[in-house]
Amino acid sequence: MARSKTMIFFSQLRRTPSTNQSATLVPPTRITRSRRKAVAGDKRLQKKLALLLPGHNEELIIASTIRSAIAAGQSKHDIYVVSDGSTDNTHSVATALLGESHVLSVEHSGKAGAIKKALEHFDIVSQYRWVHVADADSIFGSNYFRIYRRKLNHKKYAVAVGFVQSLRGNWISTYRAATYAYSQHVNRRVQSKFNMISVFPGPITCFRTDILKDLDFEANSLTEDFDITLQVHRKKLGKVLFIPQAVNYTQDPQTYRDFCKQNFRWQRGFFQGVKKHRIGTKLQPIDISLNIQMLQAVLYLLQMFILMPYLIITNHNWMYLPVALTADFILTGTITLASSVVIKRWNLFGTMPYFYLLRWTEIAIFVTAFVEVMILKRFQVVAHGWSTAGRRYQVSAEALKDVAGA
């Protein structure tokens, strides 16, 4: 009996070239000047979309990422990989799929530094109208790039972002799937309407190449994608398009420890950006968007730790607490159930037993990061690096179940 399309898709993603070669640093092989001039004058080529995959020690996932991009409509001739100081087989695995001319290994520079070197080395600005930068643990939905190409309009937009979702996995992945669904289907749609999208996520962002010269990819930040987001808004480089139909699936931390570690990096990077770009001192849409986000967190904390104790003490009635917690549980459960329906993952409601553990962990980290960066003035100088250690794993057919149906 012939295998189904879904199983064929799984098998294609799971095959990895067998190699024992270690990643090596290769010297740049730049495009010749005559080639550059020819490309620059070819308007047809300038309208193409490049995919750039920066990574560090990605041998477990990079083959699946590349194959999913091809299956999603991206020609392998327009896919480029930059391996940033990898000590595993990232370079050789990528080369086996794309060829030596489409893979670059550089000395350890950090993600932003690697992107900058790759843009120059592959001469992407001259060859392409758009460049999509994606994390090397991305698994693209089956029509991702076909959808993207239909939506891109260089006359209207400077940046486009898709929809990031979690690969199926353990309890942390399920929690993330629920929070991603709500935050993007609700918050990001509103932000998109008013051109105030607050972050260009690493796995799903596409830039019009003519704005790259105005961006500092070597910004001193723990979260380069957030810093780049604020640069685009502050410099008024153009509108941002949200494409919710273009879904990219990403790997999430597999342990509570790594979950906390990732959140600390995100929140410290968030407040670095808020401080550096003086969020709240101007009336740009991005200031309004981020102020609303921070205000929501502050109001929730005030409600739980000031208003609630005040009502209990002044009224001598402890019933306020169970009533408030029950109301919050019902609201959270309704949102989670709605998210399950929207993304067709019916196990999301099962996150409720541990939902509050992870949510309060995030809130505690948010407050801690605020104190560290804004008050204690820590993390002012950042060593550029990667946070992939311990988080990469080979994807299974079950993890890819949503991808095949995307």
Q: What is the 3-state secondary structure (H, E, C) of 182-232?
A: HHHHHHHHHHHHCCCCCCCCCCCEEEEHHHHHHCCCCCCCCCHHHHHHHHH
pLDDT value for 347: 79
Same structural domain, 91 and 237: yes
Same structural domain, 228 and 318: no
- The one-digit pLDDT tens for each residue of the chain (406 residues) are 444 444 444 444 444 444 434 333 444 444 444 444 444 445 555 558 999 999 999 999 999 999 999 999 999 999 999 999 999 999 999 999 999 999 999 998 888 889 999 999 999 999 999 999 998 888 999 899 999 999 999 999 999 999 999 988 889 999 999 999 989 999 999 999 999 999 999 899 999 999 999 998 877 788 889 999 999 999 999 999 999 999 999 889 989 999 999 999 999 999 999 999 999 999 999 999 999 999 999 999 998 889 989 989 999 899 888 998 899 889 988 988 888 888 888 778 788 889 999 999 999 999 999 999 999 999 887 655 566 655 566 666 666 667 754 4
CA contacts within 13 A on the Cβ side of 79: 25
In a domain? residue 279: no
Point out which residues pair with 242 in neighbouring strands. 161
Q: Reduced to 3 states, what is the DSSP secondary structure of residue 357?
A: helix
Identity of the residue numbered 182: Y
pLDDT value for 73: 95
In a domain? residue 270: no
pLDDT value for 46: 53
What are the start-end ranges of the H helices in 218-351? Answer: 224-234, 256-276, 285-302, 308-315, 320-343
Same structural domain, 88 and 153: yes
Q: Given CA atoms 353, 183, 395, 255 in this order, what sign does their dihedral have?
A: negative
Same structural domain, 223 and 347: no
Measure the CA–CA gap between 106 and 27, rounded to whole angstroms.
Answer: 8
Same structural domain, 39 and 156: yes
What is the number of domains present in the chain?
Answer: 2
In a domain? residue 220: yes
Domain span at residue 320 reads 285-375
Q: Which two tokens stand for residue 354?
A: 């541990």
In a domain? residue 142: yes
Number of C-beta neighbours around residue 205 at 10 A? 24
Q: Reduced to 3 states, what is the DSSP secondary structure of residue 35?
A: helix
Same structural domain, 241 and 294: no
Of all helices (H) and strands (E), which one includes residue 80? strand 79-84
In a domain? residue 248: yes
pLDDT value for 30: 46
Same structural domain, 240 and 291: no
Same structural domain, 46 and 186: yes
CA 156, distance to chain mean position in Å, is 23
Q: Which two tokens stand for residue 137?
A: 């643990």
pLDDT value for 3: 45
Same structural domain, 55 and 152: yes
Please calculate the CA angle 104-107-111 and round it to the nearest 5 degrees: 75
Q: Which of 250, 72, 253, 246 is nearest to 167 (CA)?
A: 250
pLDDT value for 201: 92
Identity of the residue numbered 258: D
Same structural domain, 90 and 185: yes
- CATH number for the domain harbouring residue 232: 3.90.550.10
Q: Which of 137, 122, 124, 133 is nearest to 68 (CA)?
A: 137
Same structural domain, 17 and 91: yes
| Complete DSSP assignment for 99-154 | -GGGEEEESS--HHHHHHHHHHHTTHHHH-SEEEE--TT-EE-TTHHHHHHHH--T
Measure the CA–CA gap between 369 and 204, rounded to whole angstroms.
Answer: 26
Beta carbons within 8 Å of 32's beta carbon, 6+ residues apart: none
In a domain? residue 277: no
pLDDT value for 389: 57
Same structural domain, 188 and 129: yes
Q: What pTM was estimated for this model as a whole? A: 0.84
Q: Which of 29, 96, 106 is nearest to 62 (CA)?
A: 96
Quote the DSSP letter at residue 387.
Answer: -
pLDDT value for 2: 42
